Structures are given as C-alpha cells and as structure tokens.
Structure 1
Amino acid sequence: MGYAVVFGEALVDLLDTERDGERVYRQAIGGGPLNVAVGVTRLGGAAQFVGSLGDDVLGGRIRGFLTDVGVGLAGALTAPASTTLAVVTYSGPEPDFRFYGEPPSYALFGPDDLDLALLEGADVLYCGSVVLLQQRTLAAARRAWSLAAGLRVLDPNVRPRLLDGPAALDGLREVVAEFAAGAHLVKLSTADAELLYPGEPVEGVAAYLRELGAATVVVTLGAAGAVLAAAGADPVRVPAPKVDAIDATGAGDSVMAALIADLLLDGEPADPAGWVERVAFALRVAGLVCESPGGATAMPTRADVTRRFGR
C-alpha cells in the first residue's frame, strides 16, 4: 500500500463553549487538511502532512500530535511565526471561523519547499482549504498538482471570513475550476457549493464540476447524506446513517479521509456502484465523528465504524 500527501494548513482551533456558567475556549488541534491526514491514518492508510508549522509551543504540540497518531512530517517545515488561531463560534448550521495571526503560520510554505521525491512517490495528493487563498501556498499547490504522479483529490473547504469581497470569491472560483479540471475526485460541502455557485442545485454543481474535468464529485449534505456524480451515471443521493450528533467539527474532513483511505487500499472503484459503497462508508465515518467532540481527535478506526454500524 502506498501513501497520501496531504498539503494544506495545520492550526489551533479555539472552540467557543461554556463551563460552569462562563464562556471559555476549548483548544483543539485542527485545520481541515490536518484532520484529513489524521483520518486517513486512523482508517489504515498512510499519510504525509505537507505544510508550514509555527515555531512556538502550539506548533510543537501540532507536530507532536501528528507524530503520535502516525502522520508523517518529512515534507513539513517549521516557519518563524506564531501558530494561527481559528476562533470557532456557533450560531447557525455552519460553524463560523475567524482567523488570528499575522503572518498566518500555514501560509509560509512555497513551491521551492516541496519535497519532490515525497510528492512523486505518493499514490494520492490532496490539495485544498485555506492555502488556496494565499499566493505563496497556492503556487506550491499548483506545482504539487502538476508534478503528482498519483490520484489528485481536491476539497475547496471554503472559509467565507477569509474572502475579502466579490473579487476574492471570483478568484477562488477560478482556482477551484483550475484544480477540478485535473482532479480524480472533488469533495465539497453544501455550504461550499452555495457560496461558489449561488442558486445552483447541488446535483447541478456536481455535474458542472464533472464537465470541467473532475472524474468523480461528492457533495456532502450534512444529515441528508451526499450527492455523488461518478463517470457513466447521473448524480445520485447517498443517505447518511441516523446518529446522535453532538459536534459536527471535522465531519466533512472525515468523508474526504475515508475516500482517500479507500483509494490507497483499493484504488479507484471500477463502476458507479463501487463509488456508492465508498461514499456510504465515508458517511458512516462522518456520522461517528459527529457523535464525539473535537475534529482530529474524533477520527475513528475501521473497527470503531464496524462496532457502531455493523459491516
């Protein structure tokens, strides 16, 4: 079995909560790509996290956490910056992220920092999330995308607070189209789809991304499951299991992690029915994540999924 290179951000989430009648922030290691790398490893795959980490105590904690869970750091670098903080508040269906730290610790990785041998040996390359909004890291992602010998997967993982007006959104839309054109798999959420393509039904968004060149597209719908658009078939809806959700942090990342882990273990499915099975499993993984607090720390093993939902 090969490995996945996951390129993106690692940071510290400060989750708004209440304890003993007072507002407090619960610290959690996070970043969508970091969650993906951890999820792949927990599900039996091998992952290498590639990106820049702060040189402070929090950056050390991130490095230690990833090492402890078995995520490789051969392609990561330590940058002279304080670790970015993402303050997460909850008022609607989607958590609201506000980012603190200048310069962002995740934005200091450039094209020349890529470990080319690590990249060229990977069976899967993941790119996405907020690194697509920074010129230096976008340039690195573009170079990685062009050099990848294995399967390329994309997750826009849009953070509206980091989009500075309509021009920034238009720019991101163009970047997503550019990467989707060469993607074997694109995963995005309903919130991503609504922001990038307002007024379009999710099936239409999935079909459009396939027309751009993406081989397979998955749009997650929260408790309603996901829309799957695979080659040779019309978009279909895959239901999610019923769960007792307490925290959706990392659920979308766990879907991506499960799909990548299965690509590493078994390659691409031979037909659309195989993709339906893969997405159904990924939604079980996400359901289990929603039943536990935290993002990266909630990522389950395959044995955990089997215990909860059966085979």
Structure 2
Amino acid sequence: MGYAMVMGEALIDLLEADLDGEQVYRQAIGGAPLNVAVGVARLGGDARFAGSLSTDVLGDRMAAFLRAAGVDGQGVRRVAVPTTLAVTTFEGAEPTFTFYGEPPSYALLTPADIDLPAVGGAAVLYTGSISLLREPFLSAARAAWTHATASSGPLRVFDPNARPTLLPDTAAVDALRDLAEEFFSTADLVKLSSADAIVLYGDHDPASAAARILALGAGAVVVTCGSRGAHVAAPDGATDIPAPLVKAIDATGAGDSVMAALISRLLTGGRPADLAGWSEHVRFALSVAGLVCERQGGATAMPTPSDLRDRWGDL
C-alpha cells in the first residue's frame, strides 16, 4: 500500500455552540484537506500533508495535531502570518463558514515548496477546496497535478469544496467553475457535494452534474447528498447509494470523511474497474461519514477502523 499526498488548507474552525443558554464558539482544528489527511491516517493509511501553517501558537497546535494523528508533515511550510479562522454557524446540522485572516495562512505554499519526486511516488494525489482560490497555492497545486499527470504515477483525486461566502459575484463563480473543470478533466475521481453542484452549475440534479463532469474526462464522480446518500457515476453507468440512518448532531467534516474513506480504499485496492467497484467504496465511505455526523465536527471526529466496527460491525 502506497501513500496519499494531500494538498490544501489547514485552519481553525470556530464552531457555534450553546453553553448554558449562552452562544459560544468551540475551537476545532480543521480545513477540508487537513480533515482528509487526518481521516486517511485514522483509517490506517499513510497520509502526507502539503500546505502552509502559521508560525503562531495555533499553527503550532495544528502541526502537533498532525503529528499526533500520524500524518507526515514534511510537506508543510511555516509562514509568519496569523492563522486563518473559519467561523462556523449552523442551521440544523449543516454548517455555514465565514473566513477571517488576510493573507490567508493556508494558501502560501509555493511551487518551490513542492517535493515533485514525492508527488510522483504517491499512490494518490488529492487537492481541492478553498486554497485553490488563492496564489501561490494554486500554482503549487497545478505544478503537483501536472507532474502527477505526466508521470502517470498517483491516482488524481479532486474536490472543489465550493464556499459561497468566498464567491462574491457571478464572475467569481464562473472563475471557480473554469478552475474546477481544469482539474475535473484529468481527475481519476471527483468528489463533490450536491451543494457544490448547485454553486458550480445551478443544478439541483446530482445525476446531471455528475454526467457533465464525467463528460469532461473524469474517471468517476461521486456527488454526496447529505442524509440521502450519494450519486455515483462511472463510464459504465450510474447509481444512487443510500446513507445509513444516523442521529446527526454535526455535519462538519462529513464530506471530508467521505473523501478520506475513498482515498483509503484507493490506497488498499487501487482504482475500481467499474461502477460496482466504485459503489462498494462509496458504501464504505457513507458509513464513515455517518459516524462522523454523530460526533462533534472537525478533524477530531474522523474515526478509526475499531470505531467503525463498534458502530457498524464488519464493513
């Protein structure tokens, strides 16, 4: 089993909560790609994180958290700007994010920081999320992705993870769509949420969005649909996979746990040959996400194999 190279942001989530009738914010280490890296490691995979962390105390905590989770941080660049904060509010279990910090501490990785031999030697390369909206990270991600494509080495996995609060107008949405489609066209797997599909395409039909992305050149597409499960599309067909019934208290990180679970299965079993193989991966991933939704959100919610066995039995 090889390793996954995970590129993207790490930041601090301030999660809205109620304490004795008073509204407070609970600090949690997060950022979608960090969550993915931690999720892969918790599931027993070899995860390496490439991103930028502040030199402040919160950056120190995130670096220590990655080490404790078993994530290799040799690809981390430390930067002397304050850690970006993502203030998270809720309507039910679904989170809404507002970001504070300029320049963003999470997007300062440069192309020169990328270890290209390590990228080429990976079994899986993941990138995506809000870090792609800023330079120099975008150039760094493009350099790694181009190298992975040219080397025919790692499986390339992408998640746009669109955040409407970072897209102030239609021009910004159009730019993100163009950027996402650049990566979609050479990805072995695209994972996005139904909310992402609405942002990018105004499309409330996951099957339509998945077919569109597949036609661009993606090897397979998984559209998560919250409590309804996921839509899976591959060259030989498409299907809907139901989610397990859970008592959700916090959906923060659930989509990231799907991504982590899919990567963990790619590490152990390689790229599936057909829709049936992708569907088995997605069933496993939805079980992981269901357990995450039953916990307080963030990277600490990512489960281990023993957690999964305790909750679901053998998967």
**Once the two structures are superposed, what CA deviation does each residue of 1:73-97 show, in whole Å capped at 9, x if it has no partner?**
0111101111000000113663111
Q: Which amino acid aligns with 1:49?
A: F
Matched, 1:273 2:276: yes
- For 1:111, the equivalent position in structure 2 comes to 111
Residue 246, structure 1, aligned to residue 249, structure 2:
yes
Aligned partner letter, 2:73: L
What is the CA deviation profile of residues 156-189 of structure 1, one whole-angstrom value per residue up to 9, with x for unaligned ones? 0111111131111100000111000000000000
Match of 1:129 in 2: 129
- Residue number among 153, 157, 161 corresponding to 1:157 in the alignment: 161
CA contact (8 A) 1:75 1:118 kept: no
Partner of 1:286: 289
Q: How does 1:169-180 map to 2 (within 5 A)?
A: 169-180=173-184
1:303 CA drift (Å): 2.1
Which residue of the partner structure matches residue 30 of structure 2?
30
- 1:186 aligns with 190
Kept in 2: contact 1:228–1:238 (CA 8 A):
yes
Matched with 2:206 is 202
Which moves more between the two structures, 36-45 or 93-102?
93-102
Superposition pairs of residues 295-310 of structure 1, within 5 angstroms: 295-310=298-313
Matched letter for residue 223 of structure 1: S
In the aligned structure 1, how far is the partner of 2:167 from the partner of 2:146? 25
Deviation track 1:26-52 (CA, whole Å, cap 9, x = no partner) reads 000000000000000011111001000
2:18 is aligned to: 18
Matched, 1:58 2:62: no
Runs of 4+ in 1 over 2 A off after TM superposition: 91-94
Equivalent residue number for residue 84 of structure 1: 84
The one-letter amino acid paired with 1:156 is P
Does the 8 A contact of 2:197 with 2:203 survive in 1?
Answer: no
Deviation (angstroms), 1:199: 3.4
What is the CA–CA distance in structure 2 between the aligned matches of 1:65 and 1:224, rounded to whole Å? 32
Kept in 2, the 8 Å contact 1:111–1:139? The answer is yes
User: Where is the strand percentage greater, Structure 1 or Structure 2?
Assistant: 2
Q: Which region of structure 1 is more displaced relative to structure 2, 299-308 or 242-251?
A: 299-308
Q: Does 184-193 or 301-310 show the bigger shift? A: 301-310
1:95 maps to a residue whose letter is P
Distance 1:203 1:178 in 2: 20
Equivalent position of 2:258 in the other structure: 255
Instruction: Give the TM-score normalised by the residue count of structure 1.
Output: 0.97
SS in 1 for 2:72: coil
Asked whether the equivalents of residues 8 and 106 of structure 2 are also in contact (C-alpha less than 8 Å), the reply is: yes
Report the Cα distance in structure 1 between the residues aligned to 2:98 and 2:303, rounded to whole angstroms.
27
Amino acid at match of 1:152: R
Flag the 1:300–1:281 CA change in 2: closer, same or farther, 3 A: same
Letter in 2 for 1:164: P
Q: What is the distance in 2 between the residues matched to 1:304 and 1:21?
A: 32
Cα distance, 1:22 vs structure 2 = 1.5
Cα displacement (A) at 1:200: 4.8
1:83-124 C-alpha deviation (Å, 9 max, x unpaired): 000000113663111111111101211111111222121110
Hey, what's the Cα distance between the residues in 2 that align with 1:23 and 1:146?
46
Which segment drifts farther, 111-120 or 86-95? 86-95
Uncovered stretches (5+) of structure 2, i.e. residues with no partner: none
Q: Is the 8 A contact 2:206 2:231 kept in 1?
A: yes
Matching residue's letter, 2:242: P
1:246-270 CA-to-partner distances (Å, cap 9, x unmatched) read 1111000000000000100110122
Any unmatched runs of 5+ in structure 1? Answer: none
- The DSSP-based 3-state class of the residue aligned with 2:126 is strand
SS at match of 1:74: strand
Helix, strand or coil for the counterpart of 1:303?
helix
* % identical equivalent positions: 59
